[in-house]
Structure 1
Amino acid sequence: MSNRLPPVHALSAFEAAARFNSFALAADELCITPSALSHRIRLLEEHLCERLFTRDGRAVNLTEFGRRYLDVVRNVLRSLADFPLPNKVFTDQIRIKITLPPTFARYIFLPRFKQFKQLYPDIEIEIFLFVPLYDLSLSESDVEVRFGAGNYPNLITHKLFVEPAFAVASPAYLASIPPLKTPADLKSAYLLRSALEPWQPWFEAAGLAWPEPNVGLRIDDLGLLLDAVKLGHGVGLSRTHFAENMLRQGEVVRLFDVEVASPPHAYYLVHEPNIRPEVALFIDWMKSSFHLNND
């Protein structure tokens, strides 16, 4: 029986969209993005194997099946809403959902977050994590920070900052291999790979006509990559925001004076064009926190 039950969050999205004849207005009422609401409607239509709306530009209208199904959905939702909940405490808490790469969340966002809570104590933040380069939809978040090339069609993007990338290794690992006096000596080192931090731009900056390594441990999480460097698994690329504590404590050391001044990837703040007031406050705080005067 459970396989026949549609997801409740999709039912509420359907009811709101039908009531407003607008995905944008329904999304605003549910405090989600229009793309998230469209995803919920599409999920429900796939579950039912029926179209619920016809779309004409920005206008949406119920199909004949959608009109009949709406009566059933409203009765179900009304029954759920009217069911007595004596221990339930209702609040009008304002919430913002943000999605962050794990390393950005750990090393960059959380150290700054206390300032936002001091400025806006009544706004609750919910943090979700995703792997850069893989999850590229806003899904149900209001705001995302993405680590990538910055080409995100139909979305508003703000570049937060660009940091040079440089090579690092642990003292223990360096003691186990021949001395690395010049970048060319890396031919005897084990290079840790990541799609997020490719070696080839660094090779070019170092004057080495080497191709991108295609063997060796690959880690597509910059924090985990840095942990692997600290534990002596090889040489990796990192950036100041991530490595500064480990560099200060001597857990890793910087190799050479070579750095990639303009790495291929940077951190971008990403959101839909239409946002709620509290989301605008959060975006303004993020831009101020990273000293962005313009985009």
Structure 2
Amino acid sequence: MMSLPPVLWLQAFESAARTLSFTEAGRELGVTQSAISQRIRLLEDRVGQPLFARYPRSLALTPAGQAWLPSVQEAFRRLAEGTAEVFGPSPDAPITLRATPAMQQTWLAPRLLRFQQVRPDITLRLVSAIWADDFGVEGADLEVRYGRGEWDDVVAHGLGEERLLPVCSAAMARTLKRPADLAGQTLLHAAGFDAGWPRWLAEAGVAGLENRCRAMICDTHVTTLAMAGYGGGVALSHRRLLEASRDLVAPFALDMGTDEAFWLVRPANRQMREPAAALWEWLANDR
């Protein structure tokens, strides 16, 4: 098997092949045009075939160069991803926090504002995730996930017990004196919750009442909260999100527990940068 050429030669080839210019490749890599030319010639000698067709005023890839370029680019891409996964991004890169939109707009927002007042030197980057598959340790320093905490390759810190209860606008709440008053109202359902309206209604002593209500199913929890705030129905929400909302009230005191909860999560195989560690401690201890 042929030994791999030096990385400097491969970098020269990838840059020159992408730009079709030894001069541009030199600017990109911080060396002279002649240095790029020399590295390409050494590389061609190593592989035993010309990689470029050289013309007086232009440059083109040979069939061998065209066939090899995707493999070289894929190798550099995987090397960059592996480096970031193990060692994290560059020290001065923003801290990336991934969470659902509802969590960002309610519980997280005031805490991140206070954090930035204490640590104005840290730049934060918020990334939204809606479905479970949107989450993953790649590309994020920290995450706030909702579930049972049964994830591989992460360190998970529970943010406390979750309780679900109905929420709605203040005007609608004035018409709801007891759970039976929900009959005929629109119940807003958020896809993905293990515990939902049928269970809450059963615990409230009005099992089956959902069959006498209108229903709207939303693919995000933040949408159900927005609809409830506009008076479009009653949503089931987490008590911690209600406490952070300025538009919603709870018409009933009854709440119910759930096996799922919010978790602060970070990759287990990556050492946290100091700014990420500071944010972790802030969110883990600021309830």
Larger Rg: 2
Q: For residues 82-116 of structure 1, give each alpha carbon's deviation from its aligned partner in whole angstroms, at most 9, with x where no partner exists.
A: xxxxxxxxxx6243221111111111222112333
1:218 Cα deviation from its structure 2 partner = 1.0
1:206-245 paired onto structure 2 within 5 Å:
206-210=204-208, 216-244=215-243
State the partner residue of 1:27. 85
Offset at residue 27 of structure 1 (A)? 3.3
- Residues 30 and 227 of structure 1: CA distance in aligned 2, closer, same or farther (over 3 Å): closer
Residue 152 of structure 2 aligns with an amino acid whose one-letter code is P
Deviation larger for 6-15 or 98-107: 6-15
For residue 193 of structure 1, the aligned residue among 173, 189, 192 is: 189
TM-score (norm 2): 0.62
CA distance in 2, matches of 1:129, 1:8: 32
Trace 1:77-96 onto structure 2 (pairs within 5 A).
93-96=92-95
Provide closer, same or farther for how the CA distance between residues 8 and 146 of structure 1 changes in structure 2, counting only shifts above 3 A. farther
For the 8 Å contact 2:183–2:210, the answer to whether it is kept is: no
1:289 aligns with 2:280: no
User: 1:129-278 alignment to 2 at 5 Å?
Assistant: 129-173=128-172, 180-197=176-193, 198-210=196-208, 216-244=215-243, 251-260=247-256, 262-274=257-269, 275-278=271-274
Q: Distance in 2 between matches of 1:285 and 1:141?
A: 17
Residues 93 and 122 in structure 1, CA contact (< 8 A), matched pair in contact too: no
Gaps of 5+ in 2: 1-17, 19-66
Residues 169 and 248, structure 2, Cα contact 8 Å, conserved in 1: yes
Q: How far apart are the structure 2 equivalents of 1:26 and 1:129?
A: 20
Does the aligned pair in 1 maintain the 2:189–2:197 contact within 8 Å? yes
**Is 2:171 the partner of 1:107?**
no
The one of 14, 18, 35 aligned to 2:78 = 14
Provide the TM-score with structure 1 as the length reference.
Answer: 0.60
- In 1, the alpha carbon distance for the partners of 2:141 and 2:244 equals 31
SS for the counterpart of 1:256 is coil
- 1:139 deviation in Å? 2.8
2:186–2:215: 8 Å Cα contact kept in structure 1? Answer: yes
**Match of 2:266, as an amino acid?**
H
1:182 Cα deviation from its structure 2 partner? 2.9
Could you tell me how far 1:16 is from its partner in structure 2?
A: 5.3
**Structure 1 alignment gaps of length 5 or more:** 18-22, 33-91, 291-295
Shift of 1:183: 1.8
